[in-house]
Amino acid sequence: MDPSRYSRQVLFPGIGIEGQDAISESRVVIIGCGALGSMQSEMLARAGVGRLKIIDRDFVELSNLHRQILFNEQDARENQPKVVAAAKRLALVNSAVNVEPVVADVNFSNVEDLIADADVVLDGTDNFETRYLINDAAVKLGIPWVYGAAVGSSGLQMTVRPGKSPCLTCVWPESPAPGTFPTCDTGGVILPIIALIASLQVTETLKLAMGRTNELHSSLLQFDSWTNRYTHLNLANAKRADCKTCGQHNFEYLSGREAQMTSTLCGRNAVQVWPSRATRVDLEELASKMRNTGRVTHNKYLVRMSADPYEITVFADGRSIIKGTEDTAIARSLYSRYVGA
């Protein structure tokens, strides 16, 4: 390690030489390389983490560039996989960091293998289902993970230390139904809230990498960068003995029982997606959210949105037909972006 490279970071009393050595030996996994994940990746590469595994199933699009700081217009023109473009960029930022790009759809069949050797896992995802899956796997394997979410101008952040702190299920026992909350593709998002939440996540990650767990904020933080509102919920007593995940070790998402189901519709160039649990969607509300992103029609039975080259039809039971692809990973990604998961 070149001591001059990190000299200003080492001067900070919270890190120092020993802390920098620990950071340089740390192994971090980032799941999702969109807005949060790309910013986390660059900050951690510049901080000098030893190994950085970045996992994402998606490719770069022009609409990503206002908030996903690792990518450029050429990446979008070439439809580069996000993690491949990220690895190229990060190699120019800090060639000493071992960056491992993994093009994969994280699901119940592979998540444990993907994070098994991590010291810390960061949430860079865009949907609830994957976050509950990360929570299951991290609690089961005893790996700390750092949750973060942002949409519009509002964001949330908390850190989970299995066995020591409340987990995601302690705080939210059930995931919201599809269509309940806006997504970045229906409600928009601005870069300042991404930067704020990612900064909080990376700060917590550095503390975990150095073993400075007494300096973690141990809270659920909520910020709105537009309205200047800030909420701090102390989670010291939020760990629940009856929590089905960390209390009972009932890993529903890891078992696949809570996973979205998909099937390719033969001869139709379409995939059908079912939500992870029985639900009812407010179609009128969903139609209103979708109108900002494409051509929308709806009736009391369904909402249909055309966003070339895809057509997304959502039914009241949360089931959706995604036309324009036979790739189930793409279909699940589109469902998450426009409906929620």
Q: Are residues 167 and 280 in the same domain?
A: no
Domain membership flag for residue 323: yes
Q: Are residues 224 and 247 in the same domain?
A: yes
Cis peptide before 309 (omega within 30 of 0): yes
Among 172, 103, 173, 112, smallest CA distance to 139 is for: 112
Domain membership flag for residue 19: yes
Out of 254, 277, 301, a domain closes at 254
Instruction: List b or e across 17-53, with b for residues whose CB sees 16 or more CB atoms inside 10 angstroms.
Output: eebbbbbbebbbbbbbbbbbbbbbbbbbbbbbbbbbb
Task: Give pTM, 2 decimals.
Answer: 0.82
Q: Are residues 38 and 57 in the same domain?
A: yes
The pLDDT, as a whole number, for residue 104 is 82
Q: Are residues 233 and 281 in the same domain?
A: no
Out of 225, 254, 283, a domain closes at 254
Give yes or no: 243 in active site.
Answer: no
Which residues lie across from 310 on neighbouring strands? 307
Q: Are residues 249 and 301 in the same domain?
A: no
Q: Are residues 247 and 270 in the same domain?
A: no
Q: What percent of the chain has pLDDT over 70?
A: 95
Q: Are residues 166 and 277 in the same domain?
A: no
Per-residue pLDDT tens over the stretch 182-218: 777 778 899 999 999 999 999 999 999 999 999 999 9
Q: Are residues 60 and 76 in the same domain?
A: yes
Instruction: Determine which one of 170, 184, 243, 246 is catalytic.
Output: 184
- Give Dmax (Cα) for the chain: 65
Cα-based distances in Å from 293 to 130, 139, 184, 286: 23, 37, 10, 12
Query: Can you give the CATH number for the domain in which 295 is found?
Result: 3.30.310
Cα-based distances in Å from 73 to 51, 101, 304: 27, 20, 30
SS3 category, 154 = strand
Q: Are residues 86 and 154 in the same domain?
A: yes
Q: Are residues 91 and 174 in the same domain?
A: yes
The pLDDT, as a whole number, for residue 178 is 67
Rounded mean pLDDT, 152-169: 96
Which residues lie across from 222 on neighbouring strands? 156, 231
Per-residue pLDDT tens over the stretch 66-95: 999 999 999 888 878 899 999 999 999 999
Query: Can you give the CATH number for the domain in which 108 is found?
Result: 3.40.50.720
Q: Are residues 107 and 208 in the same domain?
A: yes
Out of 223, 254, 285, a domain closes at 254
List phi, psi (to 5°) of 197: -70, -45
Domain membership flag for residue 241: yes
Among 21, 220, 210, smallest CA distance to 119 is for: 210
Among 113, 122, 158, smallest CA distance to 140 is for: 113
Domain membership flag for residue 144: yes
User: pLDDT at residue 263 above 80?
Assistant: no
Per-residue pLDDT tens over the stretch 282-301: 888 888 888 877 788 888 77
Residue tagged 């966003």 (tokens): 307
Q: Are residues 231 and 147 in the same domain?
A: yes
Higher pLDDT among residues 62 and 220, named by residue:
220
Domain membership flag for residue 2: no
For the chain, what is the domain count?
Answer: 2
The pLDDT, as a whole number, for residue 188 is 85
Domain membership flag for residue 90: yes
d(CA 112, CA 106): 10
Domain membership flag for residue 1: no
- Helix, strand, coil distribution of the chain in percent, nearest 5: 35, 25, 40
Rounded mean pLDDT, 104-132: 91
Domain containing residue 280: 260-338
Domain membership flag for residue 226: yes
